[in-house]
Amino acid sequence: MIVVRCFLIYIIYVSIIAQTCLCFLSSNLEKKIQDTKQRCMKLKFNSNISVPILTGEQIKGERGNNLQLSLIDNCTGAIVDSVREAFAQVEIVALEGDLDDDEGDAWTAEEFQSKIARDKEGKRSVLTGKLQLKLNKGTVSLSDVKFRSSKRYNGGIFKLGAWVVDTFDGGQILEAKTKSFQVNDYRKKYNQKHHPPSASDEVWRLENIGKGGPIHDRLKGANVNYVKDFQTRLLEDPEDLKCLVGLPAKKWEATVNHAQACIPDNIVGQVPPPVCVTMLYNLPEETTEYFIKTNFTFFLSFLSHLLYF
């Protein structure tokens, strides 16, 4: 009887040990599978950044489309859309960039976090807009991400990055990075010169005439506000205009050449301005030559317009 009792106790003991081991192995195996699955996932931008990047303007992908961020199976390259991670919260950040984009996926989470660019106080992101996004079946569109309007970022080299804010059991999902790009101040766009200029452009669009500068102020004071005004004064009194502008000879020549490249505005339904009927034989040879060069296209267009009617 004692032997039977001992045998039963032994059987129960072995069963308990076996069940405990089985639970442990099962849990450990599940964790390993989960870890492997997550290590095989990464965030990825679907295209390169469209350059130039200006402060205060939306960052877009190639061809002007919104950037797309996807959760990718690192082994197959397919979008992961059916697990919890496919609905994770992600954050868009700017990274301190460099011109070395050959690192591939060789970085750690700590290295990624250490490269996140902050403002001067080290608190706010240098980006603004919708930076906290939620994946939907493994994808999300970046519809409002831009650099803050600040001279501090002008000329800076950055990368755009994304990382998963939510935490999951197991390993981390690899963060996304773009290639390096340069950020320029938004005023560069609005202060740039036009090549070629049009007659209705403001006069500061011409070379060597800075917007709001002393030359621009003098021209405005003389009622030379547009490129067409500059052309007219150049025809009527080039020496007076040259003195008014006050540029050295080479810069003056460059400004005049830029004005000569002017594209006439649409003339349908218009007649040539009064300057176009000036008596050419009273003009200096140099001015007459300029007149012919800058108005030849205009006269052809005007003539074809008359013939049409």
Domains and CATH numbers, the chain: 40-187 (2.60.40.1930), 193-308 (no CATH)
CB of 209 within 8 A of CB of 215? yes
Residue 151: its pLDDT value, please?
76
- Please give the DSSP secondary-structure letter assigned to residue 222: T
Token readout for 166 is 């939510």
How far apart, in whole angstroms, are the C-alpha atoms of residue 93 and residue 133? 11
Q: How far is CA 20 from CA 17, 25, 199, in A?
A: 5, 9, 87
State the average pLDDT over residues 4-13.
60
CA 10 to chain centre: 72
Residue that the structure tokens 């800058």 belong to: 294
How many other C-beta atoms can be found within 10 angstroms of the C-beta atom of residue 232? Answer: 19
Token readout for 292 is 């012919």
Q: Burial code of 181-192, b = ≥16 C-beta within 10 A, e = fewer?
A: bebbbbeeeeee
How far apart, in whole angstroms, are the C-alpha atoms of residue 30 and residue 136? 25
CB of 260 within 8 A of CB of 294? yes
Q: How far is CA 41 from CA 16, 164, 174, 222, 265, in A?
A: 38, 11, 7, 66, 56
Residue that the structure tokens 């492997």 belong to: 36
CB of 142 within 8 A of CB of 66? yes
Confidence of residue 122 (pLDDT cuts 50, 70, 90): confident
Q: Average per-residue pLDDT in the chain? A: 78
State the average pLDDT over residues 282-306.
48
Confidence of residue 75 (pLDDT cuts 50, 70, 90): confident
- Tell me which of 5-19, 71-85, 92-106, 250-264 is least confident: 5-19
User: Could you tell me the pTM of the whole model?
Assistant: 0.55
Higher pLDDT residue, 299 or 118?
118
CA 216 to chain centre: 30
Token readout for 64 is 């002007």
Token readout for 265 is 């505005």
CB of 178 within 8 A of CB of 45? yes
* Sign of CA pseudo-dihedral 10, 14, 15, 16: positive
Q: Output the CA angle 179-188-222, nearest 5 degrees.
A: 170
Confidence of residue 86 (pLDDT cuts 50, 70, 90): very high
Residue that the structure tokens 């594209």 belong to: 263
Closest C-alpha among 69, 115, 73, 74 to residue 92: 69
Token readout for 254 is 């460059």
Asked if residue 196 has a cis previous peptide bond (ω within 30° of 0), the answer is yes
Q: What is the pLDDT of residues 40-60, one digit of tens each?
A: 899 999 999 998 898 889 999
Which residue type does 31 have? K
Region of 95 please: left (phi>0), alpha (psi -120 to 50) or beta: beta
